[in-house]
Amino acid sequence: MRLRDKIALITGGNSGIGLATAERFVEEGARVAITGRDQKTLDAAVTKLGPNALAIQADLTEDGAAERAVAATIERFGALDILFLNAGIAGNTPVGATSRAQFEQVLATNLTAVFFTVQAAAPHLKEGGSIILNGSVHQVLGIPGASAYAASKGGIGAMNRVLASEFAPRGIRVNNVVPGATRTPIWRTFAATPEELEKLEAVYSRGIPLGHLGEAVDIANAVLFLASDEARHVTGTEIVVDGGTIGAP
């Protein structure tokens, strides 16, 4: 029980990496609030997670949504120890095909909303707490067709180190988990058909020495470590979970 009696808020906890992390957290004794925009998948997730989970419907790009999510977590569970900033969207268009609205939506979701959720949670996080950001190998790999996404995740990597310094005096650690290609619903947005998706995964796998994409639970296990007291002297760093990815496809 590595998270016994801990209280966590996981953004995007109704799907993929966020849901896998919520499951691991509950298994390890935590009570977990999860956010998402889609009520149906939120309901399904809470049914799966059981009585120690709370669903909060919120679009975190909207003003006040983060404050509402934090307040609902505190109201139900009474405190906040762990914050996993996981919610994100892909952006898979080359420069010439990316509209201003698309660029701004990716930045608003993957970077701005993360900053303001941290800001909303900050006054409530307890000493010994842990903030975990969710970056991407796009931070460093020049994978074509994803400049907005890469910019948003690069911002996460830079923000990680500053937040770690700012929160350290309060005994709160901040780290960034950096997934490589991971088999989650976000992948469905990359291809029009299941056959195309299979081909795309095969192409990506060629750049992964371990030979295959990660699973959501692979990322969740790294987040669990960063959230737990086992990582009590770990802050301002990144854990890359990417099967050894050596390059863009």
| 198 binds ligand NDP per the rule CB under 6 A | no
- Cβ at position 51, least distance to ligand NDP in Å: 21
**Catalytic one of 77, 84, 149, 204:** 149
Say how many residues touch ligand NDP, by CB under 6 A.
Answer: 29
Burial class (CB in 10 A: 0-12, 13-18, 19+), 95: exposed
Are 225 and 231 in contact by the 8 Å Cβ rule? The answer is yes
Task: Give 44 or 126: the residue with its C-beta nearer to ligand NDP.
Answer: 44
Helices and strands (H and E) in the chain: how many: 8, 9
- Per the listing, tokens 């990316």 go with 98
Q: What tokens does 139 get?
A: 């931070």
The residues facing 34 across adjacent strands are 10, 55
Paired tokens of 187: 């992948």
Q: Among residues 26, 30, 82, 87, which is the contact residue for ligand NDP, using CB under 6 A?
A: 87
Backbone angles phi and psi of 124, in degrees to 5: -100, -15
Instruction: Give the x-and-dash track for 24-43 against ligand NDP (CB under 6 A).
Output: -----------xxxx--x--
Site residues (CB under 6 A) for ligand NDP, limited to 91-130: 109
Residue span binding ligand NDP (CB under 6 A) among the ranges 12-20, 167-175, 195-203, 220-228: 12-20
Distance CA 124, CA 74 (A): 8
Residues from 165 through 194 that contact ligand NDP (CB under 6 A) = 179, 181-182, 184-186
Catalytic residues: 149
- Site residues, ligand NDP (CB under 6 A): 11-12, 14-18, 35-38, 41, 58-61, 86-89, 109, 134, 136, 179, 181-182, 184-186
